[in-house]
Structure 1
Amino acid sequence: MNDPHNINSAMPSEVALNQPAHEPVLSRGRAVIQLIIFSIIGIVCFFIPFTINDKSTILFDHASKFLVTEMHSVSVFLLFLMMIYGAFKPIVTGKYKESLTDIVLTLAKVAGLILGAIYVMGMAPDVIMTPDMMPFLFEKLALPVGMIVPIGALILAALVGFGLLEMIGVLLQPIMKPIWRTPGSSAIDAVASFVGSYSIGLLITNRVYLKGMYSTREAMIIATGFSTVSAAFMVIVAKTLGLMEFWNVFFWSTLVITFLVTAITARIPPISMAADDDIDVEARDCKTNEGNRFAAALDLGIETSRRAGNIPKIFWDNFRDGLEMAAAIVPSIIAVGLAGLLLDKFTPAFDILGLLLYPFTWLAGVGDPMEAAKGMSAGLAEMFLPALLLSEADLMTRYVAGVVSISSVLFFSAMIPCVLATKIPLSIPKMLVIWFERTVFSILIAGAFGHLALSMGWIF
């Protein structure tokens, strides 16, 4: 077994390096050029804003906006194709029979498809046709998600398919154990989740945990703290909250806050009480002469680029995964999102849950702390709900809500069922406690940074 702390041995990046033996291997020179070109493409598309038609935002947001606004009918047609596939795939494959959670999620997807259909046909009941219900949910959330996730996955291939991901993993190794109490190899999980998706991160985490390379505590830290929604979803949250003008501030501060909160929750119950002696930590973490870390990172990045294989296939596989993800989440977003909006409008459910968060939104200094607490508590049901419920709030509240949507990590519409599907021993009660802890710390830290950002003119 490779030592995960030896940077001169292969990282456990089965996603990138397990290429078939017959795939051609590039020369080192061509691999370096390929690594540089695709890394630049990914960075430019994701992090550099461009002004088009007086709108300044990142390139793939421009692309999705064009589809949604200029090709609306085509986008709706494509969205329904994805929703039909997403709703009926678990029925056709029989996956819905695997557990009660799968049955509930399948029913939610079918309900979302039906709700979307009756909305488009104008047959929905008046109670859900008010502007802040189905029209907002479908036009401002479901449709952009359906377009952005596949396009984002396509562009993400440039960031994750040609060695940049592995380079980052090696460079982050020295800080993982002292800060997050996880081995250096978990950097791959963290980066894969943040630039890919939580499903990819959880897949890697579960696989490594079952191999005995993570202790129970380490697996819990990684699953609940690193398996965030992807950068593509962050764009949706930022768009809904009107934060795209400050995309880089929002993105990088959310990344830092998310992983800072993980460092805190790793040191408090229930995670800190989990077993950490169910593997031979000393043997696994045995350190060797590490040499020049940057050179080792570069070598691994180049080697990954050399073995990247068929470039069109890499982009197609990522695009297909994006389509699969969009198909799975859009109908459930509509169903769970509408249920959350109806609960917010007609029941005191989020008022009650919001009372638990009120002291912390008050301490964070947001404009209307009770309203903010209610909106952020809805994130337990679906991570998009805080953005939906607080989209008209003041800038400070919108910024904090955006960070909390990402940083709280756990939510019932997708993430919690995904964790339950792994072998990591995380029960629903434990995840509820961890969600509350993450939400509280996210509110406080985001509130502090938000005030600093406002005073410095970074957001305005």
Structure 2
Amino acid sequence: MKEQTNFRGALSKSEIRDLNLDLEDLHQLDSFDLKANDKKKGIAKSLIFTAIAIFIFFIPITINGKTDITFGIIYNGLMNLTGVYGLWFVTLITIATALLSIYGKYFAKSGKIYNYFHGDSMIHPLIYSIGAAFALLYTLDATTSLSGPEIVVGASTGGTVIPSIAVAVFWIILVSSFCMPFLINYGFIDLIGTLMEPLMRPVFKLPGRAAINALVSFLSSSSVGVLITNKLYRRGVYTEKEAVLVATGFSAVSVGFAYMVIKTAGLQDHFALVYLVSALMTLIVSGIIGRIPPFSKKRDIYPNGKVQTKEDIDNTKSSSNSVFKTGGNRAVKKAFLAPPLAGEIKSSLKDSVEVIPKVVTSLCAIGTGALILAENTPIFTFLGKLFVPLLNLLRVPNAADIAASFPVGIAEMFLPVLLIAEKVPVLDPQARFLVVSVSISQIIFFAETIVVMMSAKLPIKLWELVVVFIERTILAIIIGSIFMHILF
């Protein structure tokens, strides 16, 4: 265990670097002070770059009647600007990934391609090949006179995943990698984390900095939430257990996407109420999941092998300072000592380029495949029948009509409301509310979050994600039914 060291007097940047401190260890971060001029520089850097981060990720802007956060405007703008070319570029990435994975996994013995693919399982080249085939079939169908099989290129299968999710995730990862250093390098996370620690730790068993992940996910994208979690885990901010809990519990869908879900269910007149209750349900479910297997058995170990100690957890205050002063001091120190911005952006872009090929190719394969199963087989209808007794016990109206919407959420979070879309006029508002609130609370689905989590190599297994999806679904149904009876 590292002992906390307290240094007398203020230190210069060179003196701090000579000490070779781990600045993600908050005890070590609290153990020194900056010289007066350095502190002023740190305050200026923290305020300027934090303001940029807040503007990018949290401030909604209205352009031509459409309101979105700056981050959303940038990546949606790039999608619209590139259009067909962007679709073809992503398709070519999937084809290259499939071909290179076969060579790297089965034939190469060394080199960059071998290093990139050798950690994959033996079936990954097959998955990438299927993804490339789906992407190529859809793109040819959408941009040429050639027609692909409807089961692959239809609006409810490949037409949902490839242009709307895979291409979007490509731009989301690229844009977020450019913007992320502003958010995580200049003290904003440390300030918010210190302020939120008294709530996050006892309720969710997580450090306060996880609150930023929740905010970014709700306001931008679940993929961005997962990527930020992975970045902070690799930097030693989260333990294995914390990283998994944050990624699966706080990487919720954005407000904009939630509006589409709520509108499809015919509840747009109650948008604010439904969304806020769904967000509250998500937090309640996440608080429970951290206390039950399999995630309760995850290790409290940082990526460098260090075991989390009580001192690591009990870091809300340093000496007699207030929580706000402690958070402010941490933010200023982190901002002043942050590496050069250009280098951090370059490093972040490099990380994204390494992640993108596997993520988008897997999305095309797994997302489209899952929707094909949902649309053309009775598997989810059968699984839905398993939920009928629970729904009847909770006195949920239209139980038989909405039961299939709960298991289908593991394929794509928009599918539950699509399954009931044609029945909306005859379904009870209580039933529609439950479908919407549960789908928003589930978080884990193959068409995006599962693929991003697995490709980012978070310390999590696929079977654990499936088990936790089931747990989250059951808990959300129970909790949602309580709100359903109170509110509708």
TM-score, normalised with respect to structure 2: 0.68
1:56 is paired with a residue whose SS is: strand
Q: Distance in 1 between matches of 2:205 and 2:174?
A: 34
Matches within 5 A, 1:293-442: 293-358=323-388, 369-370=399-400, 372-382=402-412, 385-386=415-416, 404=438, 407-411=441-445, 415=450, 418=453, 430-442=464-476
The letter of the residue matching 2:182 is A
Matches within 5 A, 1:184-333: 186-188=207-209, 191=212, 195=216, 196-198=224-226, 201-202=229-230, 205=233, 219-220=240-241, 222-228=242-248, 234=254, 237-238=257-258, 241=261, 256-272=280-296, 281=309, 289=319, 291-333=321-363
Residue 49 (structure 1) aligned to one of 48, 60, 70: 60
Matches within 5 A, 1:136-155: 136-155=160-179
Contact 1:61–1:235 (Cα < 8 Å) also in 2: no
Unaligned runs of 5+ in 2: 7-20, 30-36, 105-112, 217-223
1:144 positional shift:
3.0
Partner of 2:185: 161
Structure with greater Cα Rg: 2
1:63 equivalent in alignment to 2:74: yes
1:264 positional shift:
1.1
Range 118-127 or range 282-291, more displaced: 282-291
Range 368-377 or range 165-174, more displaced: 368-377
Partner of 2:10: none
Partner of 2:24: 12
Structure-2 change in CA distance of 1:41 and 1:251 (3 Å): farther
Matches within 5 A, 1:110-129: 110-120=132-142, 121=144, 122-129=146-153
Q: Distance in 2 between matches of 1:353 and 1:153?
A: 38
**What do residues 351-381 of structure 1 show as CA deviations (whole Å, max 9, x unaligned)?**
1222334456678898865554423413334
1:170 equivalent in alignment to 2:194: yes
Q: Distance in 2 between matches of 1:236 and 1:328?
A: 26
Structure-2 change in CA distance of 1:177 and 1:188 (3 Å): closer
The letter of the residue matching 1:356 is L
Contact 1:225–1:259 (Cα < 8 Å) also in 2: no
**What do residues 298-347 of structure 1 show as CA deviations (whole Å, max 9, x unaligned)?**
11111121123322333444445445544332232222222222212221
The letter of the residue matching 1:415 is I
Contact 2:384–2:405 (Cα < 8 Å) also in 1: yes
Residue 86 (structure 2) aligned to one of 58, 68, 75: 75
Q: Distance in 2 between matches of 1:247 and 1:64?
A: 25
Structure-2 change in CA distance of 1:422 and 1:28 (3 Å): same
Q: Distance in 2 between matches of 1:162 and 1:393?
A: 50
1:309 is paired with a residue whose SS is: coil
Q: Which has the higher contact order (CA 8 A, sep 6+)?
A: 1
Q: How many residues align?
A: 430
Structure-2 change in CA distance of 1:338 and 1:365 (3 Å): farther
Partner of 1:33: 44
Q: Distance in 1 between matches of 2:279 and 2:286?
A: 11
1:46 positional shift:
2.9
Contact 1:241–1:391 (Cα < 8 Å) also in 2: no
Q: Distance in 1 between matches of 2:275 and 2:52?
A: 18
2:386 is paired with a residue whose SS is: helix
Unaligned runs of 5+ in 1: 18-25, 456-460
**What do residues 369-398 of structure 1 show as CA deviations (whole Å, max 9, x unaligned)?**
555442341333455654765677859878
**What do residues 121-163 of structure 1 show as CA deviations (whole Å, max 9, x unaligned)?**
4331134344333333333333333334423443343322321
Contact 1:45–1:58 (Cα < 8 Å) also in 2: yes
Contact 2:391–2:399 (Cα < 8 Å) also in 1: yes
Q: Distance in 2 between matches of 1:387 and 1:151?
A: 29
2:61 is paired with a residue whose SS is: strand
1:164 positional shift:
0.7
Q: Distance in 2 between matches of 1:34 and 1:316?
A: 19
Partner of 2:16: none
Contact 2:197–2:208 (Cα < 8 Å) also in 1: yes
Q: Distance in 2 between matches of 1:127 and 1:286?
A: 54
Q: Distance in 2 between matches of 1:330 and 1:367?
A: 39
Contact 1:144–1:236 (Cα < 8 Å) also in 2: no
**What do residues 99-124 of structure 1 show as CA deviations (whole Å, max 9, x unaligned)?**
24644543444344434444344331
1:350 positional shift:
0.8
The letter of the residue matching 2:141 is Y
Q: Distance in 2 between matches of 1:318 and 1:51?
A: 29
Structure-2 change in CA distance of 1:89 and 1:333 (3 Å): same
Q: Distance in 2 between matches of 1:415 and 1:89?
A: 23
Structure-2 change in CA distance of 1:417 and 1:62 (3 Å): closer
Partner of 1:22: none
